[in-house]
Amino acid sequence: MWDHEDLQHLAIGWADETIRIGEILVTGPSNVHVQRRVLDEHFFLTSVTMLHRICKYLSKNSPISEVARAAAAFVVASKEAIEVRNKREHFDEYIDGNHKWQDQFTITKGPVRADLTSTQIDSRGYHLGHDACVQDLVAACIELKNHINPEW
């Protein structure tokens, strides 16, 4: 069983990795091969997912209220990214058009029709799927790290 301090260390590690990959996505060169960018997005979403799972536990079980509140805030901030990750990871279940959440897989915004495997970069940021903004998730990781301070 993991103790509270170990989980804080784990959270910091996953937050650092999320920040690192997020910065690559946002500030990296525009001539990166598409497959490399897809892999970076996948690893970014995996890092967010791992941190989300740890924060879910810390939000309910941390003996330190500041850590619990910060972890709960990250869980809320990462909800859309988790949905994108899950649907990207299980995209094959949507191919035939018969998944129970099929109607949530593709949306239309104005003239643009996109699914959760799409990436959109605009003035508001770098978006994975419909609404998971990389910049917002990086900021949420930084905020989380400001409140998690395990003894080293």
**In angstroms, what CA-CA distances link 31 with 16, 34, 35?**
25, 9, 11
Q: Is the pLDDT of residue 94 over 60?
A: yes
Q: Is the pLDDT of residue 152 over 60?
A: no
Neighbours of 86 (CB within 10 A): 14
Q: What is the DSSP string of 10-69?
A: HHHHHHHHHHHHHHHHHHS-TT--HHHHHHHHHHHHHHHHHHHHHHHHHHHH-SSHHHHH
Question: How many helical (H) and strand (E) elements, i.e. helices and strands, does the chain have?
Answer: 5, 5
Neighbours of 35 (CB within 10 A): 8
- Given this model, what pLDDT does residue 109 score? 66
Give the C-alpha separation, 2 to 64, whole Å.
16
Tens of pLDDT along 96-107? Answer: 666 666 666 666
109 pairs with which residues across the strands? 112
Please count the CA atoms within 13 angstroms of the CA of 5 that sit on its side-chain side: 3
Predicted TM-score of the model (pTM): 0.86
pLDDT (average), residues 3-10: 88
